[in-house]
Structure formats: C-alpha cells, structure tokens
Structure 1
C-alpha cells in the first residue's frame, strides 16, 4: 500500500512540476505554499469581493472486512455475525470490494474581508461487489453479484468567519449546514441465499444521502514562514434530527493537521494526518432488511487515523491544480465494516 502511495506521488509530482514550470516565468499572484492540502475543505478566506470556483474528484477504494481493528474472513462473518433482521440468524451476504467516486463543485464568495460564504454541490457514484452464501447456515458459496447507486449527494452551505489575521498566523471559524439533497430510497437487485434475485432497498452505505440535516462547527488555523506552512482544523458534524425513514447519522468529529514545503513559488508538497471519530447510525430504516453487514446500523462509525501526501501547484491568474493520496494508518470500527485501502483527491480551483 505505501509503495503504491510513493509511486503515485512520484509520478504525479513529476507531471505537475513539469506543468507548473511552463508558468514559472509568468506573474504568480499566490504562492502554492499558502494553500492547505486539497483534501481540506474550508481552509481559507478570500479578499473582499473575491470569488472562487472549484472542482474536486475523490476516489475511494475498499476491500475485505474488519471487526474492530482486525481482519475477519468471509466464513467467520457468515457463521458468527448476527443478523438483526433474522431469520436467518447470521448474515448470509458479505461485501467484497467497493469503489466510491465523488464529484464536488464548490463556490466561494467574500462579501467582506472577514466573511467568506461557501456552497458545495456533490454527485456520488458507488459500486459494490458482494458474495452470497447458500441457505440459512453453513459456508457454501452461492455466487457473487453487484449493486450500484449514483446521484446527487448531500450539499453544504457554510460561513467562514475570520477570528485572527496576521502575516504568519490566521484563524477562522467554520459554521456549516449540510442539506440532505440526495436519496435514501435507492434500490438494487440482490442475490438471496435462496438463489433468487430480489429488488430491495440498498443498505445505508449505498444510499447517496444521510437524509438528515446536519450542523457543522469548527476552527481552522494556518501558519506560514518563507518556505513552509502548517495548519490544523477541527470539525464537529452533528445530526439535527431523524430523516423520513426513521434514522439519523451518528455524530462525527474530525481533527487534521498538515505541513507543507515550497519546492518553488508554484509547487509545494504536503503531508497530513487526519483523525476522525464517528458514532453508529441511530434508529433504523424498516425497509433495509437484507442479511448483510451493511444493513445493520450498529456496523457504522469508527475511529480512524489517515496519512495523506499531496502536491499543490498555483500559476497564472490564481489557477490551482492539486492532488492528495491518503491511506489508513490505524482504525477501530464499530461491529464489522469494509476495510478502506486508499483515497485519491484531485482538484482544480480558480479565484477571481
């Protein structure tokens, strides 16, 4: 996994540095080192009257399953993990791998020097491969099948408010409202343990929305010197109530810290640690009843520590192209969940 990360970092770094070199003779309005890694949202304010448009692409790969902080085999899952929607007594369908891709469109505007407004619209595309075991018990594999969902995900409106500003240290508050613009009624065809195919409501992880309004509150700090930058951000996301299907996402706390180094005025490299802690889903959707781990609200929420490596480039007219590749360093999940392999974030921004 880490060899893969280093190889990808080297390839993208080489490409971006070559691309940025062509702009090195142009006037650079903002140095690359002044930006946080592209995976950090709401990291900076803008000058009064300034706009920014952004696009991010996030690709997450997951494979295998873990219980707590240890791997668990398919056979162990179907013989020991209880099915809350029994019968059958244990789950009979096991996720194998999953790809989640998100497209994020962002807009920022600063009506004053101390306030920046932010809006984000997200589109998500998910694919999952699962294995069904035959009958009500045992370890006989019946076959594999795939499910997929795509569409608008939850959107966000936010206000960034400046608390402190000096040439080398900046601090602002993040206040956001997550709006459930996606769907919690996605359906798919499932291979049942009885060797029939049935259209059912997909589990929570395959829905494109939480279905709940959420509040987001936090602080972001940025520090700068001649060739280095550093920063930290803490965010709390909390549900404002149950959705129409009778459940709500668990609260989530995130803390991230990063450091950057200027390779030139237009290229910088970064390293970032992110710790997130989230609670299980509260309540349940009475129509999510498949005998699979992802249909159990108790199998959501985790404590995860991620490492990210990134590259920023900023060139003519405040264009920014950046990437970040992250992998998990440690985790402790609630119940049984899929294991995340890696996440890649690519982004483009233009300020005017």
Structure 2
C-alpha cells in the first residue's frame, strides 16, 4: 500500500526535492503551496518519477484552507501517513526596517503555518494512533543571525512549540511521532523571491547545500521519527554546538561578518517578491528546486552518513564545534 505524504512549501526548494524522493518510492504526494505554476510543474515531475500527485494551492497561514487540504488528501488517497511542514516566508532587512505588517506575515506563514499544519495532521492521526509529522527547521532556529529577525524568531518558535507537543504525545503514550529536521544554508529560489531591503542580492551564509541534501535528511527523519531532531549538514551541528559552548563569541563574530556574508556583489533582484502573493503564478514562472547558487552549492554531506550512527555523530561534531569555537575566538581576538 502506498504511503500518503503531505508536503507544504512543495513548489520549490527543499519541499520540491522531498516530493521527488517520495515520488521515486511510488508514494501518494499531496503538494501544497501558493504558487500554482510551481505546483503544476512539480506534479508533472512526481507523476514521471512514479508517484501519484495531488495539487492543493493553499496559504498555510489560513487554518481553514489547511483543513480543506487534508480533507481533499484523504478523500483522494485515504489516511495521511506523513505530514511535512516546509512552507515559509521571510524579509531580509534590519529589524527597524521591517514593518509590523511584514513581521506579522512572516510569523503567520513560517510559524503559525507549521502550527496549522500540525493541528490538521494531528486531528486525523491521533484517533488512528499512527502517523508522523516532520517540521523542517533551521540552524537559525537555535542560532539567530542579523538581517533575519522575523525568520529566526519563527524558527525558534517552531522548536519550542514542537518540544511542548512532543511531551504531550509522550504523556498520552501516543504512537504519533513528531520530529524536527534542522537545516543548513540551502540553495533555493527564495533568494530571488524574498522581500529584501539589502543593498546587494541576498544569499545563504556559506557553506551552501543543494536542496537534495536537505530532502534526504527530511525523508530520513520521517522514516526514523523517534529521535527529537536531526541535524542536516555538518555546519548545522557545529553551529548549534558552538552556540551552546561560546554564544558570546558567536554574537561578536556575527555582528562583524553577518551582514556581508548574506549579500553577494550583485544588485538585488528587481520585480515582485512572494511575501504576500506567490510569484510563480504560471508554469512559465517556475524556477524548479534550485536557486542561483549552483556553482558554490554542495550536493553531498559527510554528515548524511554519520547521522545513521549517533555516537559517531556526537563525537565528530563535538570536535568540529570545538574547532569552530577556537577559530572564532582567535578571529574575534584579532579583530578586537
């Protein structure tokens, strides 16, 4: 019997790469996003790869619409086995340049969108006592950086919400599982679509990984949901550990480097952004899973192998984190 998986934010980036992986398994893949052009394109990919697609255009900030997505999914395919929350929006700007309306919108999509998806999935999974929810998180949900206060705040909120929910599921002895896959910097189209007030074109903080690396981490987390969270990419783990060991050093380091490291030498993209409306409204607007940083993005991560061996992962990343901390200490001392 085919697995039924719902993927939000499925029209591009990590969500789209994840949809392709499930399609190769012959899964029923419910594709959720606002941009109908991207959704139609990924639906074609899913069908070619051996899956059964169902397109559902929806804004995850709209709880009633999210509920309708689940109803349509189960009417078409039967019970939902896996729900993956991946949709988000953001604004690149110093906090004082982000309007109240913009900050609210990022929070509604990037945090409350996950809450809406989780609630809708649990409504169906809890009575059956089975199912898995994967929250696609970020290293920025544990270590904030400048110029992304709204996004970082939302990702932190997802971690807190999910931890609370996990304890409730444990209390009731439920066989429904929720886990978080924490992501590194990923080469997605968001850097062309994002609302930005930066002087230059926004970019992810290197090292950058391809969406396929992230998608493999998401699927692995869904297959093995008993762990609290998974870290995808060695830089994610090193960042988290360094933040726990030397947070003040990271503050000073990011204050000095975090502005330049998130901007290229190119001028910002012109045209519409996707904060309030999708930009991929027709198939001609579709940009696929990748962004514009293919030349510098990594398609593999040694940490992908280690993640299957938790003891080795802990030892290896602990050493890496200590190295990062010592490097930051030396760099900060030299620039002081």
Higher helix share: 2
**What's the TM-score once normalised by structure 2's chain length?**
0.30
TM-score normalized by the length of structure 1:
0.29
